Amino acid sequence: MKKLYVLIVAAILLLTLVNSSLGKMETQQYSQQAENSGNQYTLYRMMVDPGGGG
């Protein structure tokens, strides 16, 4: 019975570790994506409205 308990605890720890590392990767990717779309938006504004009304 004790073996099973240890196994469950180990599995939970492993899952939390994997989840946290995945979360970090996703956040990094997301911030990069947001930056890219921001740059695209600025370029779009410059092309469409070269006078820069805002």
Q: What pLDDT, in 10s, does the model give residues 3-52? A: 999 999 999 888 888 877 777 777 777 777 777 787 777 777 777 766 65
Query: 């805002």: which residue's tokens?
Result: 54
Which conformational region is residue 49 in: left (phi greater than 0), alpha (psi within -120 to 50 degrees), or beta? beta
Q: What is the pLDDT of residue 50?
A: 63
Sorting pLDDT into bands at 50, 70 and 90, what band is 53? low
List Cα–Cα distances, 48 to 12, 34, 44, 45, 54, in angstroms.
Answer: 53, 21, 6, 5, 12
Of the two residues 36 and 2, the one the predictor is more confident about is 2
Q: Give the DSSP H/E element, type plus range, for residue 38.
A: helix 2-48
